[in-house]
Amino acid sequence: MKNFTYTLFFIILGCTPETILEEVYVYVEVPVEVEPEEPTVEELRDTYYNGEFNGADYYEYFKIFMWEAKNYGLDLDYTLEYPIIIEPRTHQNPNWVAWAKERDNDKKIHIGINTELFFSVSRSNRARLYIMFHEFGHDILNLPHFSTNSCSNITHLMNPCGRNDIGVDEFKQLVKELFEGL
């Protein structure tokens, strides 16, 4: 406290009457934290559909499916009241990547995943998301397969032929048609 008093006294003694009457402005820069803007639906969609999420977490696929359903006006929150099981399993058909085990049972979501095929090197997160949207289409939306009897021209997400090479825009269109077609 003494240092402050002496310093102040020295400053006043060193000033002339003219300078004491001058206004003194002190500029202080205060950093203002700016809240980052919330990403738009399209920005989030691009993030998810480009595979920028934790693809090893099975529940990420469920969360993205539920988020997208809400974007299209579907309230599927009732599913949160029941068991949601997404687990590695073996199936009698070793070529199945994933399957809905509780189709037409609205009180349980149960997806089995053949992890060897699901996490194969050639399968991207987007391709995995495609597979999981297809299985949630069965299990949550109770949709059957939509088939053109061709795996070369997939025009519906519920076509039983999966795609590893699906592009972002094509996937967006298939998801849009899936939810708007309900």
| pLDDT value, residue 89 | 85
Domain boundaries, the chain: 41-180
* Reported pTM: 0.77
A 10 A CB-CB count for 76 gives 13
Q: How many CA atoms lie within 13 A of 79 on its CB side?
A: 25
Taking residues 98-127, report their average pLDDT: 90
Report the percentage of the chain scoring pLDDT > 70: 80
| pLDDT value, residue 32 | 74
**Whether residue 34 has pLDDT greater than 90:** no
> Residue 112: what are its φ and ψ, rounded to 5°?
-100, 140
**Where does the pLDDT of residue 67 fall: very low under 50, low under 70, confident under 90, or very high at 90 and above?**
very high
- Tens digit of each residue's pLDDT (9 = 90 or more) over 14-27: 555 555 555 556 66
**Where does the pLDDT of residue 177 fall: very low under 50, low under 70, confident under 90, or very high at 90 and above?**
very high
Q: For residues 33 and 13, give the distance between their C-alpha atoms in angstroms, rounded to a whole number.
A: 41
